[in-house]
Structure 1
Amino acid sequence: MKKILLIMTCLLAWGAAFAQKKGNISGKIVTETNEPLPYSLVKLVNIADTTKTMEVSANLDGLYQFVNVSEGQYLLRVKMVGYQPYNGQKFSFSGSDLQLPEIKMQSTSKQLKEVSVVGQKPFVERKADKTVLNVENNATAAGNSVLELLEKAPGVTIDRQTDQIKLNNKAGITVMVDGKTNYLSGADITTVLSNMTSDQVASIELITNPSSKYDAAGNAGIINIKLKRNKNFGTNGSAVLNTGWGGVKDGPNNLYRHSANLNLNHRTEQWNIFGNTTYNTRSGFNETLLTRTANTPSMRTTFDQSFNRKQKSPGYSAKIGADYYASKKTVLGVMVDFFNAKNEVMGLSSADVNEYQGNTHTLSYIKQNNGNNSKMQNVTANFNVKHDLPKEEANITFDVDYANYTMDRNDSFDARYLNTAQQETNSSNLRNIVDAKIDVIAAKTDFSWPFSKTLKFEAGLKSSFVNTNNDFVSEQLSNGSWADILGRSNLFIYKENINAAYSNLSKTWKKWDLQLGLRAEHTHSKGHSITSNKIVDRNYVSLFPSVFLKQELSKNHSFNYSYSRRIDRPSYQQLNPFVQYLDPYTIDSGNPYLNAQFTDNFEFAYNFKEFSLSFNYADVRGMITQVSRQNDATRQIEVQRQNFGHANLYNANLFVPLKITKQWSMQNNFSANYQKYEDGTLVGAQFQKSKVSFNFNTSQSFVFSKTFRAELSFWYDSPRIRGVEETTIAQYALNLGVQKSLMQNRIKLRLSVDDILNTNYWEGRMKYQNVDMYVTNHYVNRRASFSINYSFGNQQVKSARNRKTSLEDIKGRTGG
């Protein structure tokens, strides 16, 4: 009997299922002008059971279709960015195929035109944990390279002598591009940033006190350059053409620069494909004037030297990537970057050598022609996965990266030695050939789990492997053939493995926010000079705690307290024990015995609405700095990086944004610094120096109409010191930019002029032990640029994820 009932029940269920008819529901989505509206999100809601809601996206022709729909009562809803949501009337579906009437979406642009207030993000924007430069749409940014943009940022200075980027007068910056650390440093990173144009950049973030989630590298903090990336549905992009001119104080005024940039993006519900390419060429000029003295018991010698270098730097870059939204919780991504730049330098240097021996004065001259041809190329690739866990805001991410950097450089030095009568007495011909290769593999995973709305835990692991090969050949022409007569050639191989783990715990109370973090990094490095058969092997573990505390006093008043420990490892080139010839009296050498420097950063900040006042103290031990050693007997200067004893750095910063009128707003930043440097054994003797300096930066924005605006900015840096180097003059510049929008903001015309007053150059002095040197440096300071930006496709904003990759502490170290 039970079997019969079971069979009858199955037959009835089968019959009911068979009787329930299913069919297809289709239709079309169009704009107000009856154009197809692709990629609209269409939902079919079952009124009886809303959990059975079906979703599809309209195709390129605006068509949609739901298949195998059961009979019942339904609602149709449509959403598209830039359009008002559509909520249809209830309708009945009998199971037979149904073609619904065409749906015409209403644009929100009309509403926006009526209620929008003309506004734009300020060029400088202060947030709780960082300072942001809003480069996109800023008039004064047009035509600038990223390096020139950084010079306008509050607290940032570009040291043209050592090719260092400093933040709050501290060196040791980690440079990131879209969350990926650039493994280059020194002259190499400045070359990359000089060939990266503002047309590629959306914003630049300055993070002075990163948490334990970030790599511990970077004494002064992190500069994260976020490139433009359109995240809208459909196909869209922008094209930018730029032309400009550069000038040097007391130098040539025919330095032209041109660039072209193309951004493309295509996004559907499951795919986001993006890419950009840039070509950039610019001419540059650099003049360095140097005066120094060398003394021996029997003779005093003074050198008056000048170095003039004119360069041309064409380069191009490309990026292509894709995100695949496999489900509502899982996203997979891949990204490939390519960069290629050439640098052609023609230089002329001269030295007046004055020798004083008793009452005798002898004058001689050295004239040198030098050339430099280099090519830099790098390729980076990233694969990443992000998966959202069942708990809200809980997720796990995984990244694996590969990077390859190559640099080929050929230097030539042809020197002529002249007597007082300008007659040639001797000559020399030298050349350097450099072949450098760097390979990096890195992987990381991050985990985030909120225990509650007020308690969150984060943890992660990372491992990176670096292999560098630097073949340096130094030769002199002798009897018609090239040979390593001076014994300076060197083959250097460096390998490094860093393994890291971190955890963060965040807790929120009614008036307090607390984050505690700890990062551990194990470093194993091995530098091997094949030529001299010298090996330096290091193996150490370092801990990097961090604490961030925020206290809400009231709606408009709050305090922030923070502490973090940071590390700066030597760059791979700095560890290379090569000796490079610069001129007959100047050489540059690497130091394989350089140690990492460690910094403890403390910061306190008071915030009142958008105003902020902060105080920062940094205790730096073993600071990596450039030191010049003078051999009085040979009168030769050797430039080398070494660990400096101890530095105490104090900084106070005041940020004051003001809204003067509806059309005029400004952001003002004031910084005061006190630096104290001490070393008991610098070049064999004690060194101590301290100084107070300050910096001022203001950015003014003027909105004349919805389509016409102007930006005026000014920055000022007072004389300052860093280690043995002292800047003896104030540096400042006034910049102006205007922007006109056409065709509903699809076309933007920008004109900008930097350093209108032609005041930005550098003068400094190094005086310690037997070194007494004055330096003046002129570089491209005045720039004028005109650009045309055309945007096409769907320009309505659609948010997308922001990701960081595992290349976050190595890229900044591949240069000198």
Structure 2
Amino acid sequence: MTQKEKIYIFLGILLCIGQLAGQTLKGHVYINGVPVNSAEILITDQEQKKYFTVTGETGAYSIELPNQKNYLVKAFSEKRLIISKNIYVDGNTTQDLSVENKETEIQSVHLIAKKKKIIQQKADRIIFNVENSVIASGGDVMDAIRLAPRISVQNDDIKITGKGKILVMMDGRPINIQKEDLPNYLKSIKSDEISSIEVITNPPAKYTAEGNSGIINIVTRKSKKDYWNLTVNTTGQAASKFMYKNGANYNLNVKDITLSSGINYTSGYNAPVNYSKIEYPDITWIEDNRQTAFTDNLSARLSLDYKLNKKITTGIQYIGSFSSPIVESQIDSKIFGKPNGAEKSLINTASEDSKKNRFNSLNYHMIYEIDTTGKKVSFDFDYFNSRSRSRQDYLSRTFDKTAPLPSIPDFDSGKNEGYQNINNYSLNLDVEHPTSWATLNYGARISFVNTANDIRFYDLSTGNEFLDPNRTNQFSFRERNQSLYFSMNKELGEKWEFQAGLRMESTQTRGFSETLNQESEIKYTKLFPTAYVLYKLNANNQFSANYGKRIHRPEFSLLNPFKYTFSPYSTSEGNPYLLPEFTNNIELTYSYKDFLITSLYYSDLKDGFEMLTIMNTDTKTQNATPLNFISNRSYGINQYFYMKLFPWLNANVNINFFNSQSRSSSPVTLSYLNGWNFETKADLNFTLNKKKTFFFGINTWQVSKGVTNLDRSSSGYQIDASLKLFLMNKQLQIVCYANDIFRSNKISYTGFSNNNQTTYRNYEDLRFIRLSIIYNFGNKSIKDSSREVKNSDEKDRATFR
């Protein structure tokens, strides 16, 4: 079957489905012959499915129902049941609801669902109901996220166990702000304002297939009209250096307008330390890299939604980020001879890497709610522009050159100047289509990406700037992507729930190097199936299984063939022929009450790519380039416990035990590596007073020796502690946080390159004390209205190098 045939078949399916429709029940509601405005109509079928609508000023109502059968129709006015009537709907039906002098109080209406369990297992996700959790109340959203199943938060970095990068969403819409601003934003929202946290380890077909990632969806509580909220926060953080963060968020919900905005500024320093060791046959090369990293980042967001009428909502969203980071490095490379280990040479390299990054994103969206049964059409147009200017200067000196270093001069100095400009446009159409026999979801997306790169290298060794044409390059890259998707969810009685989906993505890329006169073109069309099944044995025991296929496309910077020079012995270059990697994921899950969740998982990675550092044994130089050379199979078990040990002590524990098997197609690395990994995480939360305004927390994690792809990793652990105090009726929040108290997060990785053993260990200056003050004022906090930006996967790939 050709690519065009596949597309035509898929479009035909979507068009056929789009013709499905129900029937309409309409009429008027009267009391004593007078039309009733804003009467609530609740309709229930024999399977206890509920449908809801409200009358207008003339007392008229209209609601679309999925099929022909008997319905129980109830009408309420001012919290009173005024009529209850059985109606058989056969095609379009008109039925007035009239009552004379009826004053019956509402009895057991059940408009509000019964209290949910703290942990719920659905076919495609795990739900942590924050509103029913004592341990999660009174804090912020970051506190609540720490407690959710399968989630790990380390140094404000949010992850799902067994996954790579994740997408954090609010009410089904990605929170598209810079990664470093995300924790501050989540800390500015009270946990009491959210209803639940959904952990989606294997995203359905509706979501882009990009990345072996999961999704965390934060569901907010419904807000009332005519309320506003302003949150201001300030944070001081002291590690080896000092850093401060300030921000404010303003939200407004009045009449038919919803506004959400925020601004954050971060400035300060930290001091990472990196260590590496290379064992050549004749020498040992040890490198210490001491850095001072300056952060200067301003970010802002603004979203505005307007409800045109009962069915149509439209809005825009803007996100901007402006940063000027600077990293100064002092690198000492000590070279020891073999076999006696005497020091032969010392190479000192000083470098400064400065950037100016500018990011602007705009989204326009329109939502059309077709009827009250849940039929809905959403349209999105997204645009983002990412610009970066960089400059990296280095000066390298070699002392006591007695070691065999033929390729390294005694003195070398150079400058890299780079410019990158990325533009992306995307259009997305999504349809939610419930029917009498299943709930359908289908849609389409197209995306256009254009990048331009201009990178120049200047040789400064003579004291003058000399443009080296052999290390200068202009490179352009273009990508086009078209997607179609369809999914179906079906419940069979109270025991079974099934969901299946299919996403097709077609991609065409073209890269061109002006300097090298080199062109590369890649085209491919792939199908990404997903499947889910849930079985409810009884109220306390549930089983589920899911399968999904994913794709991870290379970041745009990895495709540029230009060779970037860090020092006379260290370079890196991109690969315009780099292909995407694919992953197949399978999970089996068992959940018992609110107490535990057990997950068995399997992942199979094909054509995996990484930056591969190639060591030259003769010249002692290193060049890093991305290649598709890894395949990996991993399987394991994840165990989650949620425990209330005492009224004043709650805990959640996560244990992960898995095996990793990696193979390499490159002769430079090990051909195969197999090993087991063991990880644990525990969060203890103490309530220190009866008013529940003073809390103490301990967070700890530990990892055993294990393997990461083709490297062996050492063991490690980290212990954090926090004190949290609420004042002024919980409007003022003061948090003191101690991170990596024992400075123990120093995991090392050991691998091989051309039979030379390499060891790396990085410490990101993680031991710090942080004091945060957050103040909320206004008559009511409302939910964020950030729109689901459909080009978030392209944004993730637009990393600055």
Question: Which TM class, normalised by the smaller chain length?
Answer: 0.7 to 0.9
Q: 1:3: which partner in 2?
A: none
SS in 1 for 2:578: coil
In 2: Cα distance, 1:158 partner to 1:585 partner: 34
CA change 1:492–1:206 in 2 (3 A) is farther
Kindly report the root-mean-square deviation, in angstroms, between the aligned alpha carbons of the 2 structures: 4.0
Q: Do the aligned partners of 2:570 and 2:622 also contact (CA within 8 Å) in 1?
A: yes
Q: 2:356: which partner in 1?
A: 375
Aligned mate of 2:297, from 315, 319, 326:
315
Q: Which moved more, 1:541-550 or 1:772-781?
A: 772-781
SS in 2 for 1:759: coil
Q: 1:459: which partner in 2?
A: 442
CA change 1:583–1:763 in 2 (3 A) is same
Q: Do the aligned partners of 2:490 and 2:499 also contact (CA within 8 Å) in 1?
A: yes
Aligned mate of 1:279, from 256, 259, 265:
265
Cα distance per residue 1:684-709 (max 9 Å; x no partner): 57610011011111112222333222
CA change 1:198–1:588 in 2 (3 A) is farther
Q: Do structure 1's residue 469 and structure 2's residue 469 form an aligned pair?
A: no
Aligned mate of 1:243, from 230, 235, 247:
235
Q: 2:566: which partner in 1?
A: 582
In 1: Cα distance, 2:143 partner to 2:409 partner: 45
CA change 1:451–1:214 in 2 (3 A) is same
Q: Do structure 1's residue 347 and structure 2's residue 329 form an aligned pair?
A: yes
Q: 1:723: which partner in 2?
A: 709
CA drift of 1:329 comes to: 1.7
Q: 2:85: which partner in 1?
A: none
Q: 1:609: which partner in 2?
A: 593
SS in 2 for 1:500: strand
Q: Which moved more, 1:747-756 or 1:359-368?
A: 359-368
SS in 2 for 1:705: coil
Correspondences of 1:672-691 after superposition (within 5 Å): 672-679=657-664, 681-683=665-667, 687-691=671-675
Percent of aligned positions that are identical: 23
Letter in 1 for 2:427: A
Letter in 2 for 1:371: E
Cα distance per residue 1:324-369 (max 9 Å; x no partner): 111122211111111112212221111112345x999671111111
Q: Do the aligned partners of 2:209 and 2:550 also contact (CA within 8 Å) in 1?
A: yes
SS in 2 for 1:809: helix
Cα distance per residue 1:246-266 (max 9 Å; x no partner): 43xxxxx3x212112211122
SS in 2 for 1:810: helix
Cα distance per residue 1:595-629 (max 9 Å; x no partner): 11111111100111122101110111011123221
In 1: Cα distance, 2:677 partner to 2:317 partner: 43
Q: 1:95: which partner in 2?
A: none
Correspondences of 1:781-796 after superposition (within 5 Å): 781-795=766-780
Cα distance per residue 1:746-795 (max 9 Å; x no partner): 21222221222321122121125423112222222122222222211122
Q: Do structure 1's residue 290 and structure 2's residue 283 form an aligned pair?
A: no
Q: 1:657: which partner in 2?
A: 642
Aligned mate of 1:410, from 367, 380, 391:
391
Bigger radius of gyration, 1 or 2? 1
CA drift of 1:653 comes to: 0.6
CA drift of 1:229 comes to: 11
Paired residue total: 693
Q: Which moved more, 1:788-797 or 1:645-654?
A: 788-797
CA change 1:496–1:684 in 2 (3 A) is same
CA change 1:508–1:803 in 2 (3 A) is farther
Q: Do the aligned partners of 1:143 and 1:243 also contact (CA within 8 Å) in 2?
A: no
Q: Do structure 1's residue 387 and structure 2's residue 400 form an aligned pair?
A: no
CA change 1:159–1:565 in 2 (3 A) is farther
Q: Structure 1: 5+ residue runs without aligned partners?
A: 1-44, 56-68, 71-84, 91-118, 248-252
Q: 2:67: which partner in 1?
A: none
Q: Do the aligned partners of 1:143 and 1:242 also contact (CA within 8 Å) in 2?
A: no
Q: 1:693: which partner in 2?
A: 677
Letter in 1 for 2:564: Q
CA drift of 1:669 comes to: 0.9
SS in 2 for 1:481: coil
Q: Do the aligned partners of 2:444 and 2:484 also contact (CA within 8 Å) in 1?
A: yes
Aligned mate of 1:447, from 431, 438, 451:
431
CA drift of 1:637 comes to: 1.3
CA drift of 1:238 comes to: 3.1
CA drift of 1:481 comes to: 2.4
CA drift of 1:740 comes to: 1.8
CA change 1:393–1:362 in 2 (3 A) is closer
Q: Do the aligned partners of 1:461 and 1:501 also contact (CA within 8 Å) in 2?
A: yes
CA change 1:551–1:142 in 2 (3 A) is closer
Q: Do structure 1's residue 263 and structure 2's residue 249 form an aligned pair?
A: yes
In 1: Cα distance, 2:738 partner to 2:723 partner: 9
CA drift of 1:483 comes to: 2.1
Q: Do the aligned partners of 2:660 and 2:674 also contact (CA within 8 Å) in 1?
A: yes
CA change 1:525–1:475 in 2 (3 A) is same
Q: 2:526: which partner in 1?
A: 542
CA drift of 1:430 comes to: 0.8
Q: Do the aligned partners of 2:229 and 2:776 also contact (CA within 8 Å) in 1?
A: yes
Q: 1:214: which partner in 2?
A: 207
Q: 1:593: which partner in 2?
A: 577
Aligned mate of 2:422, from 438, 441, 447:
438
Q: Do the aligned partners of 1:376 and 1:407 also contact (CA within 8 Å) in 2?
A: yes
CA drift of 1:662 comes to: 2.2
Q: 2:53: which partner in 1?
A: none
Correspondences of 1:17-96 after superposition (within 5 Å): 47-49=31-33, 51-53=35-37
Correspondences of 1:177-188 after superposition (within 5 Å): none
In 1: Cα distance, 2:37 partner to 2:140 partner: 48
Q: Do structure 1's residue 503 and structure 2's residue 495 form an aligned pair?
A: no
Letter in 2 for 1:305: E
In 2: Cα distance, 1:813 partner to 1:183 partner: 13
SS in 1 for 2:207: coil
Letter in 1 for 2:492: W
Aligned mate of 2:741, from 753, 756, 760:
756
In 2: Cα distance, 1:687 partner to 1:481 partner: 46
In 1: Cα distance, 2:771 partner to 2:166 partner: 31
In 2: Cα distance, 1:583 partner to 1:125 partner: 54
CA drift of 1:644 comes to: 2.4
Q: 1:106: which partner in 2?
A: none
CA drift of 1:571 comes to: 0.9
Q: Do the aligned partners of 1:280 and 1:314 also contact (CA within 8 Å) in 2?
A: yes
SS in 2 for 1:327: coil
Q: 1:624: which partner in 2?
A: 609
Q: Do the aligned partners of 1:528 and 1:534 also contact (CA within 8 Å) in 2?
A: yes
In 2: Cα distance, 1:785 partner to 1:144 partner: 15
Query: Structure with the greater relative contact order (CA < 8 A, sep ≥ 6): 1 or 2?
Result: 1
SS in 2 for 1:806: coil
Q: 2:502: which partner in 1?
A: 518
Instruction: Give TM-score scaled by structure 1 length.
Output: 0.77
SS in 2 for 1:660: strand
In 2: Cα distance, 1:683 partner to 1:556 partner: 52
Q: Do the aligned partners of 2:260 and 2:784 also contact (CA within 8 Å) in 1?
A: no
In 1: Cα distance, 2:740 partner to 2:670 partner: 40
CA drift of 1:742 comes to: 1.8
SS in 2 for 1:495: strand
Q: Do the aligned partners of 2:386 and 2:422 also contact (CA within 8 Å) in 1?
A: yes
Cα distance per residue 1:354-406 (max 9 Å; x no partner): 345x9996711111111111122211111111111125111111111111111
